[in-house]
Amino acid sequence: MALLYEVSDHIATITINRPDALNSIDLETWGEFSEACAKLEADDDVWVGIITGAGGRSFSAGADLKETIPTLIDDPRGSRYDEPDTIMRGQTVTKPLIAAVNGLALGGGLEIVLACDLRIAAEGARLGAPEITLGFIPGWGATQRLARELPWAIASGIVFSGDQIGAETALQYGLVNEVVPADRLQAAARQLAETLCSRGPLALRAAKRAMREGLDMSLDDGLQLEHDLFDDLAYTEDAKEGVAAFQERRAATFKGR
């Protein structure tokens, strides 16, 4: 299969599984990726997601150019190809997503990383948006997310040059949270996911919603959203458990209710 989906202990792991093609993404993979993210979102037993690539060479080298370039040239004003909604554009996942970046994350691969909330990179990882070198611009969110996350000069440097940056540079820019040895990448991502699972899953989703939606609101509207979500959580079993655990000086056992 072009994509693997596994769930254990409230953690869903999505693995792009085309290592011989640097985990580039063709139509089949896009469809499976969209379906996997929808499955993750719909499963109440899944609290956190990890996205990674098979093998050690590449997280994802982006779109499979053998498939996409002919369509772009033949039908430049058309739909390019029948893209399903994904987390990069059109699909909402309210649960925290962690990118475990092994090797190359280029073009659409970088854009998957940018659509994740937390990012851990292997020491040899390389990230970039090379579309400009082909006479195009990024098409799955890099122009928008980079400009929102980074200072303008840094974001425009990545997009305008098409050059790759290393993991340490990405860490300095704030694009990734942590850089680890390649042989520790998956364990580090799993450990982070387990840490998040020890927090209240409903609170995590509410926090993500407040932060994501708040970016498109005025401060006053964002504060109102935060207030409303806070009040909603007060009626949950998880909130009662969290307070009780604090008072009893024990670890909370959250259930997502």
Query: Strand 178-180 and strand 118-122: pairing?
Result: parallel
* Residue 111 annotated in active site: yes
Backbone phi, psi, residue 114, to 5° = -65, -25
Q: How far apart are CA 95 and CA 198, in angstroms?
A: 14
Question: d(Cα 87, Cα 26) in Å, to the nearest integer?
Answer: 16
Residue 250, burial from CB neighbour count under 10 angstroms (0-12, 13-18, 19+)? exposed
C-alpha radius of gyration, the chain, whole number: 19
**Strand-by-strand arrangement of the 104-106 sheet:** 58-60, 104-106, 126-128, 164-166
Judged by DSSP in three states, 227 sits in helix
Dihedral (CA of 214, 217, 223, 227) sign: negative
Catalytic residue among 83, 131, 237, 248: 131
- Tell me which of 28, 32, 111, 213 is the catalytic residue: 111
HSE value, Cβ hemisphere, 13 Å, CA-based, for 206:
20
Which sequence positions are flagged as catalytic?
111, 131
